[in-house]
Structure 1
């Protein structure tokens, strides 16, 4: 079910700390540039939402930085500018929260691991078993997509070694699109973004190991108008509500994401 932005805001404001959304107060960046750090698998979704946001906020520039969730969270924890952080797992978000870089956070989407091959599928890969002896790749263990891959492979009793471990979901996908690998383990949303360039193969049991995405801002959202943050903090929370609202839900669904 899709929520409107108003409903999402109400849920965010009323949910008690420790039950999803919650955290500690922090300072957000002010000005006309909104810095958004997001997992690479969110590239298409956030580029579309950023364009919508800029169209509705004259003079505001949304600066998007994509990469591995773990790397981005560590950058935020080390003091890199961040108004909004979106990660592909809870562990990465926790890094930024415990460092005080993020105070307001919670789940907003989910994703499932799939197997992709080049469109012509020259290696004839139709299942995980066909990867044995083929050139295949997956995300590095420390990346959220790598953690999910390890869990899915273990659940299928598959222990063959990949040809390489990639930095994030998009670089993993690029190996197949560029013809440098026979197959790759990526998120369903990444497979959809590649369109006709890849063939998608479902993996048994992958639904039981779905990735949960979290989004957060430095400052806790408040219901009291007199205590509301201003400037960049308010813009960050408006972007957050765009993602949580009806528009964000629709864009996420079209890109292949599920609910958290």
Structure 2
């Protein structure tokens, strides 16, 4: 059957439109079977070791970092005392970034030929933590001598800082226990197993189960936190740069850490 000229023109127009539509579908990458374009999978995975006192801040930093760097995944952040982390790394633990709570334990790593030049990214000071209600009636460092007091072990940054603070103030304390990281000290105070413990100011921030007392001389004993990338794993230096950048520094500040210029290691 022959079409009239107007009908023939309409048929040609419909055929052309159909051809263009098919061509458009064929040109859409990832549109086969109606699937959306897939998000690229991470091409690098990081393992990070960080001082126990960094846990809340680094958990948040890791979340924001991976959102800004989808090409890099963080498989593990191991939180512990800096001395423990340094020993693990020197003994061969596969770690891409280390963030220590002091320069002494970072030196253990770098003196072994691992990592680049560490950069100070935060500072911290000590407070006396007591259970809610302060049942031991602790008011000062001097009161720790007669109270059940928990401290960090001497080789741990918070333990070294505690020893310096107590010595500076002429106070001698026989600790009920010496813990391998500051989190363990805080947990014993929260559990009521101790009248008091010396922890970092950041550890008690937002912790409703304890009260804190800023002891005399605390501002003179400042822990400096260094960070460095270990090896050449893609994304490791990006993480270090993120911690040192504006967003990372703001997160650390929000969690109570001082700036890198606030003082030297105590």
Q: Same fold (TM over 0.5)?
A: yes
Equivalents in 2 of 1:99, 1:132: separation in Å?
Answer: 39
Q: Which of 132, 153, 156 is the equivalent residue of 2:166? A: 153
**TM-score (norm. length: structure 1):** 0.80
**Preserved CA contact (<8 Å) 1:77 1:100:** no
Find the counterpart in structure 1 of residue 177 from structure 2: 164
* Alpha-carbon distance, 1:32 to partner: 2.7
Give the CA RMSD over aligned residues: 1.6
Find the counterpart in structure 1 of residue 106 from structure 2: 93
- Structural mapping, 1:1-260, within 5 Å: 32-58=44-70, 60-62=72-74, 63-193=76-206, 195-219=207-231, 232-233=233-234, 235-260=235-260
Q: Deviations over 1:223-252 (max 9, x none)?
A: xxxxxx6xx33x011111110011111111
**TM-score (norm. length: structure 2):** 0.78
Q: Secondary structure at the match of 1:196?
A: coil
Equivalents in 2 of 1:80, 1:198: separation in Å?
Answer: 35
In structure 1, runs of 5+ residues without a counterpart are: 1-29, 220-228
* Alpha-carbon distance, 1:59 to partner: 5.8
**Preserved CA contact (<8 Å) 1:79 1:101:** no
Q: Deviations over 1:135-165 (max 9, x none)?
A: 1101000101100000000011001211110
In structure 2, runs of 5+ residues without a counterpart are: 1-41, 261-266
Q: Which runs of 4+ in 1 moved over 4 A?
A: none
**Preserved CA contact (<8 Å) 2:153 2:178:** yes
**Preserved CA contact (<8 Å) 2:43 2:71:** no
* Structure number with larger C-alpha Rg: 2
Q: Secondary structure at the match of 1:132?
A: helix
Equivalents in 1 of 2:43, 2:120: separation in Å?
Answer: 27
Q: Secondary structure at the match of 2:171?
A: coil
Q: Secondary structure at the match of 2:146?
A: coil
**Preserved CA contact (<8 Å) 1:104 1:218:** no
